[in-house]
Structure 1
Amino acid sequence: MPPDPFADDPHDPARDLAAMDDEPATPISDDERAELLADLQDLRVYQQLLEPRGIRGIVVDCADCNEPHYHEWHLLRASLEQLLTDGQIRPHEPAFAPNPMDYVSWDYCRGFAEGVRATDAAR
């Protein structure tokens, strides 16, 4: 193996990732667990309704970096399940060159699902 170019470097960018492995996850509360389970159920419904219409996932505006984050259905589900089981979400690669038109917000999903339910109830 070649030598590590960041060996003994106090500014090693991987140092922060290693520190995350050493930090114990804070257990989630019963309320947080219930919210995550409800989110997973909602996500399943949203995917069933929107994926056949060409929507690839959900966009979330990140408060930390002020950039939109695009999550495909399976990635968001995996992240929520990991949060449910591990109490934290590991870093992952962002979507590569996503088309913003293929993603909608959580609020859009909720409104769309409510519209479908109201239409179905009116029949």
Structure 2
Amino acid sequence: MAHDALPPDPFADDPDDPARLFDEPDDDAPPITADERAELLADLADLSLYQNLLTPRGVRGVVVDCAECQDPHYHDWALLRASLEQLLHDGRMRPHEPAYDPDPADYVTWEYCKGFADGAKTHLPRSARRFR
């Protein structure tokens, strides 16, 4: 379809158009440091472990209390992985669509995930613990 066949953009030339954030790179964002990169890679590895341990128990993802809006944000496993990978590759996370009508009982905190994984590790045979 030709571009001129589309309806006009109602926000064209609006400096406050929130969609502009998707088109404009954040040149002010410094590149991630080697330590930040290592932390992100560790978080991605932990996320895989948490997902493998908790999905069979009905957990759909992680809930994060947002410091900006004071509301809980529910992240399915795939969304959280995509956000962390984007931060790793682009140095920032783009806005995303929040979960639609999430059931809070299906989500746990990152701290809960860590505690659950630590508890599960103590129940592994000694030979399996060294691979964690």
Query: Which residue pairs with 2:55 in the alignment?
Result: 51
Contact 2:22–2:94 (CA under 8 A) maintained in structure 1: no
Structure 1: give runs of 5+ residues left out of the alignment.
Answer: none
Structure 2: give runs of 5+ residues left out of the alignment.
Answer: 1-5, 127-132
**Residue deviations 1:40-83, cap 9 Å, x none?**
11101000000011100000001011011100101101111111
Q: Relative to structure 2, which stretch is displaced further, 90-99 or 5-14?
A: 5-14
TM, length-normalised to structure 1: 0.87
Query: Which residue pairs with 1:120 in the alignment?
Result: 124
Find 2:91's aligned residue among 65, 76, 87: 87
Query: Which residue pairs with 1:26 in the alignment?
Result: 30
1:100 paired with 2:86, answer: no
Residue 111 of structure 1: CA displacement?
0.4
Q: Measured at CA, do residues 4 and 43 of structure 1 come closer, stay the same or move farther in structure 2, by a change above 3 Å?
A: same
Secondary structure of 1:89's aligned partner: coil
Find 1:7's aligned residue among 12, 23, 29: 12
TM, length-normalised to structure 2: 0.82
- Distance in 2 of aligned mates of 1:83 and 1:45: 20
Give the count of matched residue pairs. 120
Residue 17 of structure 1: CA displacement?
4.4
Residue 118 of structure 1: CA displacement?
1.5
CA RMSD of aligned residues (A): 1.8
Secondary structure of 1:41's aligned partner: helix
Query: Which residue pairs with 1:41 in the alignment?
Result: 45
Residue 15 of structure 1: CA displacement?
3.9
- Distance in 2 of aligned mates of 1:64 and 1:98: 20
The aligned amino acid for 1:57 is: G
Residue 14 of structure 1: CA displacement?
3.0
Between the aligned residues of both structures, percent identity stands at: 65
The aligned amino acid for 1:14 is: A
